[in-house]
Amino acid sequence: MNDTELISQILDGNMNAFTFLVNRYQKLVVHISGRLIQRQDELEDVCQEVFIKVYQNLGKYRNECKLSTWIATIAYNSSVNYLRKFRKFEEVNPDDSFALRNLADFRMENYEITDLKRYIREQIELLPIQYRTVVTLFHLEEFSYQEVEQITGMAEGTVKSYLFRAKALLREKLKHIVDENSLKLVKEISNEKG
């Protein structure tokens, strides 16, 4: 069932259709809100609030953007408003090198190669909130620059700047890992051919 049919059925009072919508977009909402809100109980409350807002405002949805973008915008704004309301939203200076200093130390011998993804996710969680948000939306959720701008209200140039800075922080932290992995891979390939 496409989103247009789904919306039509929900607006006609079909609660099963709304349950279907929640199931379809639940991971998206949890992913976006979870980047901003770390405590599980708070995250569950915000996600529930997001879907209440979606239900209450579905009649106002005008198909000007994808439904996923519209829901992601509600998730982002609800999360930010929740953090502001409880004074947990910290404005972070994007130029603050504190984030780089705070990234956890990584020793290749302490991890298996398969743990690299988990380590990268952990490092993303340590980024300043603005960086973490745009990385999540652009790279993990695969929204376009324009969609990220629409969701967050940040100018496209700001989104690109935050992505660039986030990548620079991650690159700096991960460069020794990439070098070691590249060397290991070259050695393994050489040994197999020899």
Alpha carbon distances (Å) from 70 to 58, 128, 146, 151: 10, 24, 12, 7
Question: CATH topology for 1-89?
Answer: Rna Polymerase Sigma Factor; Chain: A (1.10.1740)
pLDDT at 186 over 60: no
pTM of the model: 0.63
**pLDDT > 70: percent of the chain:** 73
pLDDT of residue 10: 92
Please identify which residue in the block is written with the tokens 């629409």.
150
Q: Measure the CA–CA gap between 104 and 39, rounded to whole angstroms.
A: 20
pLDDT for residue 177: 59
Q: How confident is the model at residue 118 (pLDDT cuts 50, 70, 90)?
A: low
Q: Which residues make up the CATH 1.10.10.10 domain(s) of the chain?
A: 90-194
Banded model confidence at residue 25, pLDDT cuts 50, 70, 90: very high
90-194 topology per CATH? Arc Repressor Mutant, subunit A (1.10.10)
Residue 96, pLDDT score:
40
**What angle separates helix 15-36 from helix 40-57, to the nearest 10 degrees?**
140
Statement: residue 121 has pLDDT above 90: no
Burial of residue 71 (CB within 10 Å: 0-12, 13-18, 19+) is buried
* Ranges for all domains in the chain classified under CATH 1.10.1740.10: 1-89
Quick one: pLDDT band at residue 95, thresholds 50, 70, 90?
Answer: very low
Q: What is the pLDDT of residue 155?
A: 93
